Structure 1
Amino acid sequence: MTQYEVLNPQQQDDEIDLRELFATLWAGKWLIIAVTFLFAAGGVAYALYKPNIYQASVLLAPANEENGMGGISGQLGGLASLAGINIGGGSSNQTVIAKEVLRSRAFLADFIDRHNLAVPLMAVEGWSIKQSDWQYNREVYNPETGQWLPDENGKSQQPTDWDLVKAFKQNHLSISENKENGMVTFSVKSLSPPAAQQWAQWLVEDINEHMRRQDVAEAEARINYLENKLTDTNIAGMQQVFYQLIESETRTVMLANAQQEYVFKTIDPAVVPQEKSEPKRALIAILATMLGGMLGVFIVFIRAFFKGTREA
């Protein structure tokens, strides 16, 4: 007796009959076609409904600035630390700090408020290429009066700083870094091509200015501290040390005020994008069609299973 013959009837019934499988699919072909068509149509409609999104990117390099304390000898380290002065290695650390500041809620909230981005972020539906103007969501914002409209409960729909920063970080801003060469890329997405380019440019300018003003303020505070210490000592050697520290901090202030691109140097500036980055309409339509086909096949198998169960 062969091995196949020793199989019990239950094992034979459990074997997959490919002919029965294809027969089931063929019997439900119209259902599969209908579901696939509905999903394909829905995917195409959704893809066409989604507005174009444009992305502008700017390529940056860390500014090769010398730390103001680079010329101070190691014997001054203790006094410099006492004055709150960091010796050496400041350029790379400053770049890291600048990227984190750029992502911070405080900086982005000030950035959005300074450039009046609340309406473009939260109250527009698209961008009119012909009119070169925003298409406003008039259920949220009235562009004629400049007022945010109330919702169904009578509460104003004006977004908070939290809402604005969250929307900007999630939907518009991305920061990437090339670990091999240290290059940094700021990318900004917007419904408007000119806005995407302008926002990216503003980000670079504002973070450079923010870090420059911060370093100047800190250096000036250290200068005041050192000048006060200078008046408190009559030791000639100590006075010479304080003079060197004050000279270094004064040089830091002068270089910072003279350097426009303080932390990031622009290698490839942002330009107005001419092609959309999103949505991928063809991909959306293909995925919707595939999902519809798989769902149709699944429904056919489920129907066949319950039908077989009832007949048994």
Structure 2
Amino acid sequence: MEKEPKEQFQPQPYYIEDDEIDLYELYLTLKKRKKIVWGITGLFTLVALILCFVLPKTYRTEITLMPLGGESKGGLSSLLSSLPISLPGMSQSGITVESILKSRILKEQIIEDLNLLPLLFPDEWDNETKTWKLDEDEKPPTLIDGAKALDDLISVSTDKTTGVITVDVDFKNDPEIAYKIAEDLLNATNKILEEKTFTVSKKYREYLGKQLQEVKSRLEKLQRIYAKFTQGKIKEIPMLSFDNNTINNGKKEGRLIAEREKIKAVLEREELSPQDRKKLQDKLNEIEAKIKKLKTASTFVSVPNYQFNLIRLKTELAITQGLYQSLVQEYELAKAQEMRDQIAFQVIDPPYIPEKPYKPKKALMVIVGLISGLFIGIFAAFFKEWLDNVKERHKAEENG
């Protein structure tokens, strides 16, 4: 019996599904659903147009500043470096023009100067009665609340390359208020910088000024006494101190006293480390010992009473003149250091009253509304087409 031949395996043809997008079909779909596309596009454009006229106008004025002064080497380290003792440098406080511009105290000062609380919270203010519209359990806005509201209207940016600071001030509906805020911002910033940048050089300069006035008054008094004594109007001299050394020793004592007062001024600073404070105290004790040694080295000589008083008077004048000269020199140095440490700014572009509103940007809003509506309309058209095709497919399966 012959065996039936086995059927040979015939491979089935494999058809690749055509997944390419048919642009013509897309065109037909959009043409078919054009009402949806144009309807949504028109709706979004209309909403954008309405918002252009409904949204309040916001006006912006700009200021450009260049910070000045405030060397990296602080006044304390500069003052310590002039002393005859080696101490590590100390940096000044971190006050900058930018930090003041971003501070709450500046915004509170602006609000007080311009009485901005009613303008910052117009919904809670009654213009007719000039009172706040509050419920029983509510409180009127405070300066802190106003500072937070004003913080949203003032933006500060710094160019890291040039150091130039740009300040933008926005305000709704009233361009003059935006200008007034910007103008007062400059004045308040300058005032706060003068109050807050309290360097050691400034403190030492003020201290030297007081000492200089006292020594000057003492010197003038001694000069009057000298004139009266040499004219024979008086015979006794009311001495303020006594030293029988030469004029050079008097000047030396004056320099020592000036150096002693400088160290005392530095010792008043709280940020000195215990080690630095001990070094300064040891130096102060050494100077006190030298001054005491000069005073105890005084000797009395047997001279006529007139010559003795004249020597005393000349010595006293020499001591006072030496102290006065030292204080004048130190005072000028302290003034120069204070100018170097002073933080200030120069206005490059002053504020101005804006003529056109910064926001809303009408053209941009219309374009964004048009493009957004077009894209959403196209998506809605294809979604509608897909949804109709799914429904037809289900109906065909149910009928078949």
Aligned counterpart for 1:302 among listed residues 367, 383, 397: 383
Aligned to 1:35: 40
Paired with 1:17 and 1:77, the residues of 2 have a C-alpha distance of 90
Provide the residue aligned with 1:100 in structure 2: 99
> 1:18 aligned to 2:56?
no
Q: 1:146 aligns with which of 124, 130, 152?
A: 130
CA deviation after TM superposition for structure 1 residue 272, in Å: 1.4
Partner of 1:177: 158
Looking at structure 2, the residues matched to 227 and 117 of structure 1 have their Cα atoms a distance apart, in angstroms, of 43
Is residue 251 of structure 1 aligned with residue 251 of structure 2? no
In the alignment, structure 1 segments of 5+ residues that lack a partner are 124-136
SS in structure 2 opposite 1:266?
Answer: strand
Q: Is the 8 A contact 2:205 2:334 kept in 1?
A: no
Aligned to 2:193: 211
Once the two structures are overlaid, the 10-residue window that deviates more, 22-31 or 108-117, is 108-117
- TM-score (ref. length: structure 2): 0.57
* TM-score using structure 1 length: 0.71
**In percent, how many aligned pairs have the same letter?**
24
Matching residue of 1:119: 118
CA distance 1:40–1:155, shift in 2 (3 Å): farther
1:202 partnered with 2:194: no
- 1:214–1:243 Cα change, 3 Å: farther
Q: Secondary structure at the match of 1:7?
A: coil
Q: Once the two structures are superposed, what CA deviation does each residue of 1:47-67 show, in whole Å capped at 9, x if it has no partner?
A: 111222221112211124676
Asked if the contact 2:106–2:185 (Cα under 8 Å) also holds between the matched residues in 1, the reply is no
Shift of residue 143 of structure 1?
0.9
What does the per-residue CA deviation read over 1:218-273, in whole Å, with 9 as the maximum and x for residues that have no partner? 7449977934959x845438999x979984796379859xx9xx521212211212
The answer to whether the aligner puts 1:56 opposite 2:56 as a matched pair is no
Aligned to 1:74: 81
Larger C-alpha radius of gyration, 1 or 2?
A: 2
Task: Encode CA deviations 1:182-236: one digit per residue, 9 max, x unaligned.
Answer: 2212221112222212211211211221121122487449977934959x84543
CA distances 1:265-286 after superposition (whole Å, capped 9, x unpaired): 2122112122222211111011
8 Å Cα contact 2:67/2:97 also seen in 1 = no
In structure 2, what residue type is equivalent to 1:226?
K
Q: Name the SS for the 1:276 alignment partner.
A: coil
- The Cα of 1:287 is off from its aligned counterpart by 0.7
Aligned to 1:132: none
Counterpart code for 1:149: K
- Quickly say closer, same or farther: Cα 1:186–1:76, change in 2 above 3 A: farther
Q: 1:228 to 1:182 in 2, by over 3 A?
A: closer
1:127-162 residue CA offsets vs partner (Å, 9 max, x unmatched): xxxxxxxxxx4xx321122222237xx654743445
Amino acid at match of 2:391: R
Q: Offset of 1:28 from its aligned partner?
A: 1.0
Distance 1:7 1:77 in 2: 98
Structure 1 residue 304: Cα displacement: 1.0
Question: Hey, what's the Cα distance between the residues in 2 that align with 1:63 and 1:178?
Answer: 15
Change in 2 beyond 3 A, CA 1:228/1:296? closer
- The amino acid of 2:52's aligned partner reads A
Would you say 1:236 and 2:314 are equivalent positions?
no
The more displaced of 106-115 and 269-278 is 106-115
1:7 partner letter: Y
Q: Distance in 2 between matches of 1:80 and 1:116?
A: 49
CA distance 1:254–1:16, shift in 2 (3 Å): closer
Cα distance change on mapping 1:291 and 1:60 into 2, 3 Å: same
Contact between 2:109 and 2:188, CA under 8 Å: does it hold in 1?
no
Whole-angstrom CA distance in 1 between matches of 2:185 and 2:33: 57
C-alpha deviations, 1:12-48, integer Å up to 9, x for none?
3x43222221111111111211111111111001011
CA distance in 2, matches of 1:62, 1:163: 29
Q: 2:49 matched to 1:44?
A: yes
Distance 1:159 1:252, change over 3 A: farther
- SS of the counterpart of 2:197? helix
Q: 1:293 Cα deviation (Å)? A: 1.5
Once superposed, what is the RMSD of the aligned Cα atoms?
4.0
Q: 1:160 to 1:307 in 2, by over 3 A?
A: farther
Instruction: Identify if the C-alpha distance between structure 1 residues 302 and 244 changes in structure 2 by more than 3 Å, giving closer, same or farther.
Output: farther
| Counterpart contact for 2:158–2:164, Cα < 8 Å | yes
Structure 1's 222 and 35: CA in aligned 2 closer, same or farther, altered over 3 A? Answer: same
Q: CA deviation at 1:105?
A: 2.9
- Secondary structure of the residue aligned to 2:169 is strand
